[in-house]
A and B are shown apart, each in its own frame.
Chain A
């Protein structure tokens, strides 16, 4: 992590006999310039760090760091502005897309994205996400779905699966008492304003690569002024799933992705 790649390695490694020197041409892995080289506060095995990084990679690869404005949520990712090295504002819980709407309408040339958890987006902010998508706001939403309220101690989220044990469903989520888990992307897909909706996961190297592709696609939609784009990322919360990191990653395949199907839900 210490060897942070500095933007341009101009002139370096050109001399003969220095075949192993790091150059722009042979560099295959580096710390994204937009991701601050600091320790993060996330639990072991949590997916937030991966998603933060993927966003930064996308921002760097599009060369848009200097025009990106992030809107951080209330939830586990509330401190996202400590990790991203571009302009970021906080937003009240769930109002994240409304704040992003205000910013983007004032500054249509900037790239504006929200980063939201399942409580923020699928519970308290349900109205905002639906209407922001429906207005076709040209913003990008990164929705991290781990099925629990992590910040407040592992309570049931709207996306918690049937039977899943949480702090507020100690015998498991009862569909009769607690209602059904919400598939937000499928709900939003019926709205003409929503242009790009994809669900990905970050529980394996393969899925992380797919997730990065989806996040880049979503940002590209905004860069091309095509309208509302959103990526739902199925992520692990080993702490409140009461699992090891490996078990949590496996649970995404075995239980979560079987209910929330991965792939492009809508693209137009």
Chain B
């Protein structure tokens, strides 16, 4: 199946019963797939009138206690930001998928990674964080989407899948290793179900009392700190035996890995770190690696966004170089290899 479909199947396997979305390329296969699967599984699919409506329908579904999801691509994700801020503020779990395309503006429909900042720094108004996964294959789109639902419920926080048009549309074999019995559900006592046998529940982010909003922010930040401690994920290759560590995520990580192999075949000691969670950023691994290696090379389909987090993580202990392509252009193995050779 294609990556978009794998993502949709991951959601269904995780017990997602509500999806609302709006058509946009390159994530349309996801909308179509999940529309069909919701019919088969008795879930709710709504083609909303806008991205704004879609994210707020997800807000409502989450308020009502359902596992809910929306997906879009870059311009549509910009439209959802207000709703995402509300979801984070109200501590409502849900999963949001961005199959990024070239920007800014209407841009094009080619793959891009230029929405990294938007995904990992919050995106909408206010101080908040989303747990952001960066899958690099159809298999991971399925598995990380599944995991994203679990973590969303566990932390009462929106989680985010940051893919791109290449991953979404690429066809790959996918293994399904879950059954419905695997679903770990959390009891949602905060959800609005009608106040039978309990005091009424209220879900809100408006906190006008003296110091109330600051206390709420402190509580959110404490939650984010604990997520940062527990949920950092990354994959590493040859980092104990490298002069230069290439860093890339998502689809670019696959190209970078091939470049790394070619470089090693040429006798250049190249390792690689592939962040799997972009927030929390796996900075512990970068810190440790910074003491062993000479240099980092960050490769992205952007003007340089994740490179800033790498620099923050290594704290000036090693040089951090960057190679990027923009506007939907994809870096090639040869380009990355050339860059490695030029900075070694």
Task: Report the tally of A-B residue pairs with Cβ distances under 8 A.
Answer: 132
Instruction: Report Cα–Cα, A164/B271, bound state, in Å.
Output: 71
Q: Is A87 touching B20 in the complex (CB atoms < 8 A)?
A: no
Q: Is A88 touching B68 in the complex (CB atoms < 8 A)?
A: no
User: A91 on the interface (CB 8 Å rule)?
Assistant: yes
Q: Which residue of B lies closest to A102 (CB)?
A: B60
- Which residues from A are CB-within-8-Å of B90? 89-90
For chain B, residues 196 to 210, give those with C-beta under 8 angstroms from any C-beta of chain A. 196-197, 200-206
Q: Is B192 touching A69 in the complex (CB atoms < 8 A)?
A: yes
Q: Is B194 touching A101 in the complex (CB atoms < 8 A)?
A: no
Q: Which of B53, B195, B197 is in CB contact (< 8 Å) with A95?
A: B53
- Which residues from B are CB-within-8-Å of A103? 60-61, 63-64, 192
User: A220 on the interface (CB 8 Å rule)?
Assistant: no
User: B82 on the interface (CB 8 Å rule)?
Assistant: yes
Task: Give the distance to chain A from B190, nearest Cβ to Cβ, in Å.
Answer: 10
Asked, given contacts A69-B192, A95-B53, whether A105 binds B61 with beta carbons under 8 Å apart, the answer is: yes
- Which residues from A are CB-within-8-Å of B196? 66-67
Q: Is B56 touching A65 in the complex (CB atoms < 8 A)?
A: no
User: B57 on the interface (CB 8 Å rule)?
Assistant: yes
Task: Give the distance to chain B from A151, nearest Cβ to Cβ, in Å.
Answer: 11
Instruction: Report Cα–Cα, A95/B81, bound state, in Å.
Output: 13
Q: Is B202 touching A102 in the complex (CB atoms < 8 A)?
A: no
- Which residues from B are CB-within-8-Å of A130? 49
User: B8 on the interface (CB 8 Å rule)?
Assistant: no
For chain A, residues 69 to 121, give those with C-beta under 8 angstroms from any C-beta of chain B. 69, 71-72, 78-79, 81, 84-92, 95, 98-107, 110
User: A131 on the interface (CB 8 Å rule)?
Assistant: yes
User: B193 on the interface (CB 8 Å rule)?
Assistant: yes
Q: Is A89 touching B82 in the complex (CB atoms < 8 A)?
A: no
Instruction: Report Cα–Cα, A72/B201, bound state, in Å.
Output: 13
User: B50 on the interface (CB 8 Å rule)?
Assistant: yes
Interface 1/0s, chain B 64-84, versus A by CB < 8 A? 111010000000000000110
Q: Is A92 touching B56 in the complex (CB atoms < 8 A)?
A: yes
Number of interface residues of A (CB under 8 A): 36
User: B86 on the interface (CB 8 Å rule)?
Assistant: yes
Task: Give the distance to chain B from A62, nearest Cβ to Cβ, in Å.
Answer: 13
Q: Is A102 touching B50 in the complex (CB atoms < 8 A)?
A: no
Interface 1/0s, chain B 24-36, versus A by CB < 8 A? 0000000000000
Q: Is B18 touching A91 in the complex (CB atoms < 8 A)?
A: no
Q: Is B52 touching A98 in the complex (CB atoms < 8 A)?
A: yes
- Which residues from A are CB-within-8-Å of B64? 69, 102-103, 106-107, 110
Q: Which residue of A lies closest to B194 (CB)?
A: A67
- Which residues from B are CB-within-8-Å of A105? 18, 44, 46, 57, 60-61
Q: Is B46 touching A107 in the complex (CB atoms < 8 A)?
A: no
- Which residues from A are CB-within-8-Å of B60? 71, 89, 91, 98-106
Instruction: Report Cα–Cα, A78/B204, bound state, in Å.
Output: 10
Q: Which of A78, A87, A95, A128 is in CB contact (< 8 Å) with B192?
A: A87
Q: Which residue of A lies closest to B58 (CB)?
A: A102
Q: Which residue of B lies closest to A127 (CB)?
A: B49
Interface 1/0s, chain A 43-76, versus B by CB < 8 A? 0000000000000000000000111110110000
Q: Is B65 touching A92 in the complex (CB atoms < 8 A)?
A: no
Q: Is A131 touching B63 in the complex (CB atoms < 8 A)?
A: no
Asked, given contacts A69-B64, A106-B64, A127-B53, whether A101 binds B46 with beta carbons under 8 Å apart, the answer is: yes
Q: Is A102 touching B57 in the complex (CB atoms < 8 A)?
A: yes
Q: Is B44 touching A106 in the complex (CB atoms < 8 A)?
A: yes
Instruction: Report Cα–Cα, A105/B56, bound state, in Å.
Output: 13
- Which residues from B are CB-within-8-Å of A78? 206
- Which residues from A are CB-within-8-Å of B83? 92, 95
User: B59 on the interface (CB 8 Å rule)?
Assistant: yes
Instruction: Report Cα–Cα, A130/B49, bound state, in Å.
Output: 9
- Which residues from A are CB-within-8-Å of B52? 95, 98, 127-128
Task: Give the distance to chain B from A7, nearest Cβ to Cβ, in Å.
Answer: 14
Q: Is A98 touching B57 in the complex (CB atoms < 8 A)?
A: yes
Task: Give the distance to chain A from B28, nearest Cβ to Cβ, in Å.
Answer: 20
User: B62 on the interface (CB 8 Å rule)?
Assistant: yes
Asked, given contacts A65-B195, A105-B18, A110-B194, whether A86 binds B203 with beta carbons under 8 Å apart, the answer is: no
- Which residues from B are CB-within-8-Å of A68? 194
- Which residues from B are CB-within-8-Å of A99? 56-57, 59-60, 63
Asked, given contacts A68-B194, A98-B52, whether A90 binds B203 with beta carbons under 8 Å apart, the answer is: yes
Asked, given contacts A91-B56, A105-B61, whether A66 binds B195 with beta carbons under 8 Å apart, the answer is: yes
Q: Is A95 touching B56 in the complex (CB atoms < 8 A)?
A: yes
- Which residues from A are CB-within-8-Å of B195? 65-66, 85-87
Asked, given contacts A98-B57, A103-B61, A107-B193, whether A86 binds B46 with beta carbons under 8 Å apart, the answer is: no
- Which residues from B are CB-within-8-Å of A128? 49, 52-53, 56
Task: Give the distance to chain A from B95, nearest Cβ to Cβ, in Å.
Answer: 14
Q: Which residue of B lies closest to A137 (CB)?
A: B46
User: B17 on the interface (CB 8 Å rule)?
Assistant: yes
Instruction: Report Cα–Cα, A99/B53, bound state, in Å.
Output: 8
12 contacts across the A-B interface (CB closer than 8 A): A65-B195, A66-B194, A66-B197, A87-B200, A90-B205, A92-B56, A92-B86, A98-B54, A102-B57, A110-B193, A131-B49, A131-B53
Besides A87-B201, A89-B192, A128-B49, 7 more A-B contacts (Cβ < 8 Å) are: A88-B202, A89-B90, A95-B53, A102-B20, A104-B60, A105-B18, A106-B60
User: Chain B: residues with CB nearer than 8 A to chain A?
Assistant: 17-18, 20, 44, 46, 48-50, 52-54, 56-66, 68, 82-83, 86, 90, 192-197, 200-206
A-B pairs, top 8 by smallest CB distance, nearest first, are A102-B60, A95-B56, A98-B56, A67-B194, A131-B49, A106-B64, A99-B60, A102-B61
